[in-house]
């Protein structure tokens, strides 16, 4: 599973490409943990623009990162949520704990005070 990483201010942006399922979830989690450890970021933005499919393993990854970053005083955000991924966010309750925005710029503009 390819993940495209970038960094803006104190935000690490992780953009997985393809499917997030039980076959790819461990690798995704490990890559994100390594990238976060190397960065100066305090917060994490998941960019779903290139994600074709996500199952409960993806929910686990998001909740795990949410818990870890909350302990450190950071936050997790999601961008480019649509279609089936949006439905999963709603049904699973992820949307209640992980704020969803349209873009990185929206996160940076609206999350400053959070």
Given this model, what pLDDT does residue 48 score?
98
* pLDDT surpassing 80 at residue 53: yes
- The pLDDT, as a whole number, for residue 112 is 64
Report all structural domains of the chain as residue ranges with CATH numbers, in order of start.
Answer: 3-113 (3.30.750.24)
Per-residue pLDDT tens over the stretch 13-38:
999 999 999 999 999 999 999 999 99
Assign 101 a pLDDT band (cuts: 50, 70, 90).
Answer: very high
Report the DSSP pairing between strands 11-20 and 2-8. Answer: antiparallel
Q: Strand, coil or helix: what is 109?
A: helix
Burial of 44 (0-12, 13-18, 19+ CB in 10 A): buried
Q: How far apart are CA 62 and CA 92, in angstroms?
A: 11
pLDDT of residue 111: 81
Give the chain's count of helices (H) and strands (E).
5, 6
- Do the strands 51-54 and 76-79 form a parallel or antiparallel pair, or are they unpaired? unpaired
């Amino acid at each position: 599973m390819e993940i495209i990483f970038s960094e803006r201010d104190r935000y690490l942006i992780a953009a997985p490409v393809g499917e997030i399922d039980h076959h790819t979830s461990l690798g995704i989690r490990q890559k994100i943990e390594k990238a976060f450890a190397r960065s100066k970021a305090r917060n994490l933005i998941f960019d779903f623009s290139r994600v074709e499919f996500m199952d409960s393993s993806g929910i686990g990854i998001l909740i795990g990162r949410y818990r870890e970053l909350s302990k450190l005083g950071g936050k997790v955000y999601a961008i480019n949520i649509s279609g089936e991924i949006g439905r999963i966010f709603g049904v699973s309750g992820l949307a209640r704990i992980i704020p969803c925005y349209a873009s990185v710029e929206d996160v940076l503009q609206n999350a400053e005070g959070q």
